[in-house]
Structure 1
Amino acid sequence: MRLLHTSDWHLGRSFHRVSLLDAQRAFLDHLVTVVREEDVDAVLVAGDVYDRAVPPLSAVELYDSVLHALADCGVPTVMISGNHDSARRLGVGAGLLGRSGVHLRTDPAACDRPVVLRDAHGEVAVYGIPYLEPALVRDTLGAERADHPSVLGAAADRIRADLATRPPGTRSVVLAHAFVTGAAPSDSERDISTGGVASVPAVLFAGFDYTALGHLHGCQTVADRIRYSGSPLAYSFSEEHHRKSMWLVDLAADGTVDARRADTPVPRPLARLRGRLDDLLADPAHDAHTGSWVEAVLTDPVRPYEPMAALAERFPHILSLGFEPDERPGDGAASYAGRLAGRDDRQIAEDFVRHVRGSDPDAHESGLLRDALDAVRAAATAAERD
């Protein structure tokens, strides 16, 4: 059985205020072409179909058009909700869509109810684990704690229990939207840390023939049977060197996996340039980036006059401009952006306490900050679902 694994479409998202609607439409057209030309038997979409819980009409229209195209191909599609999606909104009409071969899995309680596909070698049970907000699904799944490893582990155990009741030789595929330990994130994913824990161990997916992951935007292999497809388009300059693609996964009769990448269209390459203004304008090494979306960071000790206008003459598609002056003697102050780089919400809150009070928060205070952030995140997710 040949599976096409994709995720993180983020329909409705822009790139530094530039609309990506046409690029997303081109990707979805390409996806349908790959389905037809590669004789795909099923499409797996591992979450973050939309960029936000209430997407713009143009994004909904794109979603509607690709569902019709996939249904016309006669190829089953299994899709889960991600942390950017409103699970309840995405799941509307799931029963009716299922009759057309589009199977939406947005209810955590139903994660152990597979879509059963068949080929010449028997059955393939495809399970969908939608994004799990720990505080909201702990009781539903009977998890020990309200954190990502516990709730995802509980969901995986439910799936194993169901799989054990199925005919011998049944192959298993699991879709999940999570941050697996050891995988590489980028700047464009939303933080999902809860209780100070954002990642889950890959061992949670042991025993499944293939796990199709979503959430991280870089295509990568966690293990031979556990992979991220990544986003089909770049959504931050941190993805400058990403090769955007989908996975074509051949699942053999014995559950052996053979995977290869199917590249996706690139609307425009990305370039991150750094240096003094005069150097960026004159250096011939930058000629290759005149057609790229550009992020420039100027290191001039004194901010130049109207640098954006000057840079736009050479780089017509420049989208972002930052300033990080070369450090002058006696000046050890880092930029605000630099101080925040690589720090999560909890660390930033603790840094603020340290800055205001002059001392680190104690363990009790750190716990209060963590619980407050978890409560805000859970409330926001609950509001999106409503």
Structure 2
Amino acid sequence: MRILHTSDWHLGRSFHREGMLTHQAAFVDHLLEVVATERVDLVVVAGDVYDRALPPVDAVRLADETLVRLAASRAAVVVTSGNHDSAQRLGFSSRLIDAAGVHLRTDVGGVGTPVVLHDAHGPVAVHGLPYLDPHAVADPWALPRRSHEAALSEAMTRVRRDLAARPGTRSVVLAHAFVAGAQPSDSERDISVGGVARVPTSVFDGVDYVALGHLHGPHVLADHVRYSGSPLAYSFSEAGHRKGSWLVDLDAAGAAHATWVEAPVPRPLARLRGTLDDLLADPAHAPAEDAWVEVTLTDARRPAQAMDRLRRRFPHTLLLGFDTGRPVVGAAPAMASRGRRDHDVAREFVTELRGSAPTGAEGALLDLAVDACCGLDAADGERPDTLVATG
């Protein structure tokens, strides 16, 4: 049986306020093309179809179109809910949709009941595990503790009980979890309970192939235990990720043989660091001119109109940060302030922050700001109660 393993579509998500729906639709086109050209028998989507529990209308429309197209393809489909999805909304009408060959598995009550498919070598039991919130299943399942490991262990006990009644049946499990040995990025939502999010790979022992979702980078934890990652990047921490899906051949004995299928990259990511002048002049940064860019400037003084100047060369600059080695705004100033005029404290704060004194115009503006916020007496420039700022 040939399986296409994907996950974490996050339909409706933006990238630093840049809409992603067009790029997500392009990935769907790619997915359907792979199903046709590679003669895929089963598509598995391991959670986080949507980016939030109440997705925008356009995202729902794209999901609907995707499932309709998959239903009309040669492949069966099993989809599970992730921690970003609303299980009830994603699973609406799932029993009716089953008849079309698209199997939505979002109800924890169905854990242990597989979708059974057949190929030339016999049956394959596909167990789709929805995201298991330990708090939600602890009491109904009488878990010994509220943890991801306990929840998934109980789920896999139910899976093994079913497989034990199906001797000779090959097995596939979909799970949305943080499995030990993989590395997260900045774009996954924290699912830790009591500070613990990871579960051991051994939870899935005895299964022929485990299709994991939740982490956005692809990982191979074992030949038969893999993350596909998200098909698109959703944070700059994913700049080094490969994006795509796993094409898995499950042979007659249940051995999984996987190859990587690259997904289209609508726009690459670039993370640049240096002084503004160097970034604008260095020809080595030419590839970033068509990328989404995150910039960290190291100039000793913060350049004026830095974002505007960067966007003249890198028009898709989305994030700008500074690393000047100077105090951050909000840090307590090093200078003592008691007994000194607020105007002087403000000027010296600016001097320490950026390494140079305010200009005449800047100083005058600072004085006006101090007067406006501190309620100084117009006659002598001092507040009546002589309270001095402490920084």
What residue identity is the alignment partner of 2:10? H
Check 1:160–1:334 CA distance in 2 against 1; reply closer, same or farther (3 A cut).
farther
Partner secondary structure for residue 43 of structure 1: strand
Aligned residue in 1 for 2:253: 254
Partner secondary structure for residue 249 of structure 2: strand
* 2:113 equivalent to 1:109: no
Give the count of matched residue pairs.
331
Q: Distance in 2 between matches of 1:123 and 1:184?
A: 34
* Equivalence map 1:232-381=2 (5 Å): 232-325=231-324, 327=325
Aligned residue in 1 for 2:70: 70
Q: Distance in 2 between matches of 1:67 and 1:268?
A: 26
Q: Distance in 2 between matches of 1:61 and 1:5?
A: 22
- Contact 1:109 / 1:141 at 8 angstroms: preserved in 2? no
Q: Distance in 2 between matches of 1:112 and 1:74?
A: 26
Q: Distance in 2 between matches of 1:131 and 1:214?
A: 9
- Contact 1:142 / 1:154 at 8 angstroms: preserved in 2? no
What residue identity is the alignment partner of 1:65? E
TM (norm. structure 1) is: 0.84
Aligned residue in 2 for 1:42: 42
What residue identity is the alignment partner of 1:299? T
- Please list every run of 5 or more consecutive structure 2 residues that lacks an aligned counterpart in the other structure: 332-391
- CA displacement, residues 92-133 of structure 1 (integer Å, 9 cap, x when unaligned): 000011000010110112110000000111100000111111
Aligned residue in 2 for 1:26: 26
* 2:60 equivalent to 1:60: yes
- Contact 2:36 / 2:74 at 8 angstroms: preserved in 1? no
Aligned residue in 1 for 2:227: 228
Aligned residue in 2 for 1:198: 197
Q: Distance in 1 between matches of 2:141 and 2:6?
A: 26
Partner secondary structure for residue 138 of structure 2: helix
Check 1:181–1:305 CA distance in 2 against 1; reply closer, same or farther (3 A cut).
same
Larger radius of gyration: 2
Partner secondary structure for residue 241 of structure 2: coil
Partner secondary structure for residue 140 of structure 1: coil
What residue identity is the alignment partner of 1:80? T
Post-superposition shift, 1:142?
2.9
Partner secondary structure for residue 212 of structure 1: strand
- CA displacement, residues 311-360 of structure 1 (integer Å, 9 cap, x when unaligned): 000101111111121x26xx6x7999xxxxxxxxxxxxxxxxxxxxxxxx
Aligned residue in 1 for 2:378: none
- Contact 1:218 / 1:244 at 8 angstroms: preserved in 2? yes
Q: Distance in 1 between matches of 2:290 and 2:272?
A: 14
Partner secondary structure for residue 9 of structure 2: coil
- CA displacement, residues 142-179 of structure 1 (integer Å, 9 cap, x when unaligned): 3211111111111011100111011x210010000000
Partner secondary structure for residue 296 of structure 1: strand
Check 1:22–1:335 CA distance in 2 against 1; reply closer, same or farther (3 A cut).
farther
What residue identity is the alignment partner of 1:173? V
Tell me how large the CA RMSD over aligned residues is.
1.3
Post-superposition shift, 1:74?
3.7
Aligned residue in 2 for 1:7: 7
Aligned residue in 2 for 1:164: 164
Post-superposition shift, 1:288?
1.5
Partner secondary structure for residue 186 of structure 1: coil
Aligned residue in 1 for 2:123: 123
Q: Distance in 1 between matches of 2:155 and 2:302?
A: 54
Post-superposition shift, 1:141?
2.6
Post-superposition shift, 1:140?
2.5
- Contact 1:224 / 1:257 at 8 angstroms: preserved in 2? yes
Q: Distance in 1 between matches of 2:287 and 2:67?
A: 38
* 2:152 equivalent to 1:152: yes
- Contact 1:74 / 1:101 at 8 angstroms: preserved in 2? no
- Contact 2:40 / 2:74 at 8 angstroms: preserved in 1? no
Higher relative contact order (CA 8 A, sep 6+): 1
Q: Distance in 2 between matches of 1:84 and 1:335?
A: 34
TM (norm. structure 2) is: 0.83
* Equivalence map 1:168-183=2 (5 Å): 168-183=167-182
Aligned residue in 1 for 2:214: 215
Check 1:183–1:335 CA distance in 2 against 1; reply closer, same or farther (3 A cut).
farther
- Contact 2:35 / 2:74 at 8 angstroms: preserved in 1? no
Aligned residue in 1 for 2:380: none
Aligned residue in 2 for 1:343: none
Partner secondary structure for residue 310 of structure 1: helix
Q: Distance in 2 between matches of 1:269 and 1:32?
A: 23
- CA displacement, residues 17-56 of structure 1 (integer Å, 9 cap, x when unaligned): 0111110000001101100110000100000000000000
